[in-house]
Structure 1
Amino acid sequence: MDMVKFFHMNGGIGDASYSGLQRMGIMKTKGVIEQAVSDLRRSNVNFPKTLVMADLGCSSGPNTLLVGSMVINAVTKTSFEMGLKSPEVQINLNDLPTNDFNTIFIALQELQGNTTNGKIRDVPHQPSCYFTGVPGSFFGRLFPMKSLNFVHSSYGLQWLSQLPELEEINKGNIYLSSTSPESVSRAYLEQFQKDFLGFLRCRSEVLMAGGRMVLTLAGRTTDDPRVEESNRLWGPFAMALQDMVFEFTPSPTEIMNLVKMEGSFTIDHLEIFDVNWEAWKRMKNGNDASELKETDDGVAKAIRAGIEPLVANHFGEAILDDVFMRYGKCITDRRSNKENQALVSITVSLTRKM
């Protein structure tokens, strides 16, 4: 399958758009993002007149501009504390060409309707902000040499650039499980290593010396990719659909080893945390039984937003409603059995070596 041609998040702002789970993960990393931007600003009094950032795998919908706003606020606050004028901010929004960039541009147009000369009204010391859409795969070069100060990516890097060649069939699974052959697990790890190293090399070329990068991706706490912890989302989906896997969730050790192997970055901060989808819904509405059922529906919709194009291309659009309805029911059944309902996530903050 040509992943660049077919893989994208669902666009728009409807029920099947990419939103709740990703937003919760982004909000948990807000402090890491703000600290990285603040450190970047403080590291150089003679900072360039424009801070140039890239949000890789930006998707489209309610969360697309969330990280950009965090960066703008952080650089504005830090500059004010330093008694300096804030640099202008250029935000490059990147995703695959099939992403719904039209929705992003419409949202930007609405935002610009509340601005004057690129500045948001009634916000003191707000720098001028400029946005650009950059279609293309982040596993390749997207920007000129030494052109970026800050790079961010949220829940994109666990997706592989392509399916690895397998010596054996991962029979009966759509994910790496305890029954997956060791050769299958090894093939996915090798593909992830190749992709992640390529990602780091491309970013090392386009980040200025001392530039920062914050990456968040689905992960696991152990070094065994076949443990149940890695499959809290895909286990239930396997009950509704068989024979598809495109994701590899790494451990912190694997991330650290690859960063060290590539050699262009130092790790400033690395943490692992859970995004609990029951807590996500309770945070919004409460915790009675009907609202927990809504949680399961919301998780199914969030995952549908992420993989619907892949399922449709592989099996056809006719099965979509049925398979994701079954998926929501499987999640409900697992919750009834008191299984842990959380997505393990890893965030790493890096600095480009001088």
Structure 2
Amino acid sequence: MEVCQVLHMNGGRGEKSYAQNSLVQRKVISMTKPIAEEAITNLYRNTVPASLAIADLGCSSGPNTLFAVSELVKAVDEVRRKLGHQSPEYQVLLNDLPGNDFNAIFKSIAGLQEDMRKQMGDGFGPCFFTGVPGSFYGRLFQRKSLNFVYSSYSLMWLSQVPEGLEDNKGSICMVGASPPSVVKVYYRQFQMDFSLFLKCRSEELVAGGRMVLNILSRKSEDPSSKESCYVWDLLSVALNEMVVERKRNLTAFNIPVYTPSPLEVESIVEKEGSFTIDLLDVSQFNWNAYDDEVHQSEAFKDGEYNVAKNLRAVAEPMLVSHFGEAIIDEVFSRLGEIVNRKSEEKTEIVIVTASMTRKG
């Protein structure tokens, strides 16, 4: 599986789209927003740049994309007004893999710009938006061209499926029953990918530039603990039921996901050496974010079913590339039933937020 070709969320705004099924990701952005706002406002106070380049890496599509960056811009505008400064020009760079639904983003930008002008009044901006397709496990921007980098709920995705997973039988990810060799190659791949990510960003950020990363994480130091891949493991169960019936090969399919512990994130940042960690924060909430959402549409009354819908919006392109489209509806129907049966086993979603400053 070529990750760069098949890793993208379901586009559009239909019932199965990421735009309609990304409340979990929205919650992460909202919960960690104070950390990102503090980082970007401190950057502005310390440097007062005439232009401010903000990159959102792994931006995906739908309402979350423009929500994240617009909140950062609003935070800077509030501070610059208090300080009596002229507004900087904003350059917002939205990055994701080439299969991302950039068209949906571009169609929303004009409306967002108009809303921002109304909210922030005279003297704001201008604010320019650019789409940047490509893997963030490589260089994306010119040297020393960025002031601020933001990424939320993206860095658990690896650049590729690790090699050496032949012994991970009956599962599409790391689970408690996975042999040590599987755990080792998953961590090694994350270590290489995250180190490369940090190196590339250090070249693109100006000295003193800031970066805030929200990474799907785990509290346990055991990479194969239930909290790491719980929902993916339930998808494994659904797929196993079907591949046995249809005599398909599940062993050859693995999800390129690794959820690091806060300690692993910290140690890799320190070893790579380009950044100083200003804050390492851990937050958590129930993995079924719909449980505590006050306003729910008719389609969202069954929270357990929506876990399956959320995962479908994320995983469908990868599954289609390996198994074909014919099984997709049944797979996620079974997943919904499995999640419902295991409703008492809910685990927490854990997020580690790393706020960093580029050295030198």
TM interval, short-chain normalised: over 0.9
Q: Which residue of 1 aligns with 2:74?
A: 73
Distance 2:165 2:98 in 1: 32
SS at match of 2:351: strand
Report if the CA contact (8 A) 1:176-1:185 is conserved.
Answer: yes
Within 5 A, what are the aligned runs for 1:21-100? 21-44=24-47, 47-100=48-101
Task: Check if 1:121 corresponds to 2:121.
Answer: no
Distance in 1 between residues matched to 2:287 and 2:223, nearest whole Å = 22
Residue type of the alignment partner of 1:306:
V
Structure 1 portions without partners, runs of 5+: none
- Matched to 1:24, the amino acid is K
Corresponding position of 1:110:
111
Q: State which of 321, 325, 329 in structure 1 corresponds to 2:329.
A: 321
Match of 2:171 in 1: 173
Identity %: 48
Quote the offset at 1:269 in angstroms. Answer: 1.0
Q: Which residue of 2 aligns with 1:248?
A: 258
Residues in 2 aligned to 1:127 and 1:284: alpha-carbon distance in whole angstroms = 35
Q: How many Å apart are 1:307 and its aligned residue?
A: 1.1
1:309 offset after TM fit, Å?
0.5
- How far does the alpha carbon of each residue in 1:53-84 deviate from its partner, in whole angstroms, 9 at most, with x for none? 11001111111101111111111011112221
Deviation at 1:152, TM superposition (A): 0.7
CA distance in 1, matches of 2:346, 2:118: 44
Which residue of structure 2 aligns with residue 269 of structure 1? 279
Q: Deviations over 1:1-33 (max 9, x none)?
A: 111112111112223222211001110111011
1:331 positional shift: 1.4
Partner of 2:292: 282
Report the RMSD for the aligned CA atoms in angstroms. Answer: 1.9
Q: 1:270 to 1:15 in 2, by over 3 A?
A: farther
Is residue 339 of structure 1 aligned with residue 345 of structure 2? yes
- Which runs of 5 or more residues in structure 2 are unaligned? 241-249
d(CA) in 2 for partners of 1:167, 1:332: 30
Deviations 1:85-125 (A, max 9, x none): 2211110000111111111111113334x36xxx6125235
State the distance in 2 between where 1:279 and 1:62 align: 17
Report the residue type matching 1:148 in the other structure: L
The CA deviation at 1:278 is: 4.0
Q: Distance in 1 between matches of 2:10 and 2:352?
A: 23
Counterparts in 2 of 1:147-158, with a 5 A limit? 147-158=145-156
Q: Which amino acid aligns with 1:70?
A: E
SS in 2 for 1:35: helix
- Greater shift after overlay, 16-25 or 147-156? 16-25
Question: Does 2:338 align with 1:330?
Answer: yes
Report what 2:244 is aligned to. Answer: none
1:136 shift after superposition: 0.5
Q: State the match for 1:14 in structure 2.
A: 14
SS in 2 for 1:191: helix
CA distance, structure 1, for counterparts of residue 166 and residue 62 of structure 2: 39
Aligned to 2:137, which of 123, 126, 139? 139
What is the CA-CA distance between 1:311 and the residue it aligns to?
0.3
Q: Report the Cα distance in structure 2 between the residues aligned to 1:29 and 1:183, rounded to whole angstroms.
A: 34
- Distance change (3 Å), C-alpha of 1:164 and 1:278: closer
Aligned to 1:232: 230
Task: Please tell me the residue identity of whatever aligns with 2:103.
Answer: N
Which string of whole-angstrom CA distances, capped at 9 and with x for unpartnered residues, describes residues 308-333 of structure 1?
11000010011111111111121111
Output one character per residue of 1:158-177: Cα deviation in whole Å (capped at 9) or x when no partner. 11101111164101111211
CA distance in 1, matches of 2:214, 2:283: 10
Partner residue in 2 for 1:192? 190
Mapped contact 1:57–1:156 kept (Cα < 8 A): yes
Q: Distance in 2 between the 1:291 and 1:105 partners?
A: 27
1:296 equivalent in alignment to 2:297 = no
Distance in 2 between the 1:167 and 1:237 partners? 18
Partners of 1:332 and 1:126 lie apart in 2 by 49
CA distance in 1, matches of 2:58, 2:77: 25
Amino acid at match of 2:80: S
Q: Aligned pair in 2 of structure 1 residues 270, 59: CA closer, same or farther (>3 Å)?
A: same
Counterparts of 1:49 and 1:257 in 2: how far apart (Å)? 35
| Distance in 2 of aligned mates of 1:129 and 1:21 | 28
The structure 2 residue matched to 1:311, chosen from 311, 319, 327, is 319
CA contact under 8 A between 1:61 and 1:103: conserved in structure 2? yes
Per-residue deviation, residues 285-343 of structure 1 (Å, max 9, x unmatched): 37xxx9985212222111111111100001001111111111112111111xx212432
Contact (CA 8 Å) 1:21, 1:299: kept in 2 or not?
no
Q: Which amino acid aligns with 1:299?
A: V
- Partner SS, residue 13 of structure 2: coil
CA distance in 1, matches of 2:224, 2:165: 17
Please tell me whether the aligned partners of residues 262 and 282 of structure 2 are also in contact (alpha carbons under 8 angstroms).
yes
Worse-matched range after superposition: 199-208 or 126-135: 126-135
The within-5 A match list for 1:209-228 is 209-228=207-226
Distance in 2 between residues matched to 1:3 and 1:15, nearest whole Å: 25
